[in-house]
């Protein structure tokens, strides 16, 4: 059942979302040559705790870290480790924060050293653009498929593939709530296509591959990589459907 949030619940989600966004900014500043993904995760953890909040991902289905940090061909759910970052790597950092029982969920992809090949830089930018194209459709009266179509069309127009096995989702007091928010339009449609209503809160998260759409899960049962070894990028914000323009709940100054 899709839950529309009350004013109080939305305020709690704004608080959680701000902390998540600030943690994402902090993480991005630490994406440097020689840094380990584990050290970045530790900084994320410490910041969230300092804000009297909790890392949502830590312990979720036994996940062992406070963030998901995925490098290059890793799509999502990369487990932080002693791996050291190299110049030109792309690093997708996904963060969930629980504050007063409500959650903010966001992600962005950063480039180590701030520069990579033109092809890689373009992948990162187009993935971010996919989110903002979807945001234009996140209005009361539209349907989830309008969001999905916007992501898919922008990605494919630029020559990229959309991951299909993982989707955006509702978010609130739980990290995953109805509805699913795919990044593609299913043809023929097999699942419901809910209408967007004021008070709905969604995590829209394009996961875009440089090569083919096929993926596989590593032996750790978490890390998702591209099947062809080509790079993947991820960008996400938690948003609120309003009477007018959607509101990004995971917003702060200097958003990536």
With residue 208 as reference, give the H or E element that holds it: strand 207-209
The per-residue pLDDT for 254 is: 85
The per-residue pLDDT for 104 is: 98
Render 16-28 in DSSP notation, one character per residue.
HHHHHHHHHHHHH
pLDDT in tens, the chain (256 residues): 999 999 999 999 999 999 999 999 999 999 999 999 999 999 999 999 999 999 999 999 999 999 999 999 999 999 999 999 999 999 999 999 999 999 999 999 999 998 899 999 999 999 999 999 999 999 999 999 999 999 999 999 999 999 999 999 999 999 999 999 999 999 887 788 999 999 999 999 999 999 999 999 999 999 999 999 999 999 999 999 999 999 999 998 888 8
The per-residue pLDDT for 115 is: 86
The domain spans of the chain are: 7-248
> Phi and psi for 124 in degrees, rounded to 5?
-65, -45
The per-residue pLDDT for 218 is: 97
Q: Measuring CA to CA, how many Å separate 36 from each of 73, 164, 173, 193, 220? A: 17, 29, 31, 41, 19
Which top CATH class is 7-248? alpha beta
With residue 106 as reference, give the H or E element that holds it: strand 102-111
Render 1-45 in DSSP notation, one character per residue.
---PPPHHHHHHHHHHHHHHHHHHHHHHHT--TT-BHHHHHHHHH
Cα–Cα dist 256/247, whole Å: 16
> Phi and psi for 107 in degrees, rounded to 5?
-155, 160
The per-residue pLDDT for 191 is: 81
**Whole-prediction pTM:** 0.97
Cα–Cα dist 152/160, whole Å: 9
> Phi and psi for 22 in degrees, rounded to 5?
-65, -40
């Amino acid at each position: 059942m899709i839950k529309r949030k009350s004013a109080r619940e939305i305020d709690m989600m704004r608080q959680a979302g701000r902390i998540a966004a600030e943690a994402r900014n902090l993480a991005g500043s630490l994406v440097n040559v020689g840094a380990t993904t584990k050290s970045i995760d530790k900084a994320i953890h410490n910041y969230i705790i300092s804000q009297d909040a909790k890392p949502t991902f830590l312990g979720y289905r036994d996940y062992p870290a406070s963030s998901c940090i995925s490098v290059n061909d890793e799509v999502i759910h990369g487990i932080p480790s002693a791996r050291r970052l190299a110049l030109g790597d792309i690093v997708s950092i996904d963060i969930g924060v629980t504050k007063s029982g409500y959650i903010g969920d966001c992600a962005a992809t950063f480039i180590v050293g701030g520069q990579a090949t033109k092809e890689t830089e373009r992948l990162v930018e187009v993935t971010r653009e996919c989110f903002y194209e979807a945001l234009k459709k996140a209005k009361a009266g539209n349907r989830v498929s309008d969001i999905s179509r916007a992501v898919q069309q922008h990605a494919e127009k630029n020559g990229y593939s959309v991951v299909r096995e993982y989707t955006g989702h509702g978010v609130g007091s739980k990290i995953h709530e109805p509805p699913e928010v795919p990044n593609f339009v299913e043809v023929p449609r097999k699942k419901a296509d809910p209408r967007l209503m004021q008070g709905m809160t969604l995590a829209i998260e394009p996961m875009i591959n440089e090569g083919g759409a096929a993926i596989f899960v590593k032996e750790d049962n978490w890390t998702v990589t591209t099947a062809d070894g080509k790079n993947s990028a991820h960008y996400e914000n938690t948003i609120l459907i309003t009477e007018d323009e959607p509101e990004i709940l995971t917003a702060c100054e200097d958003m990536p």
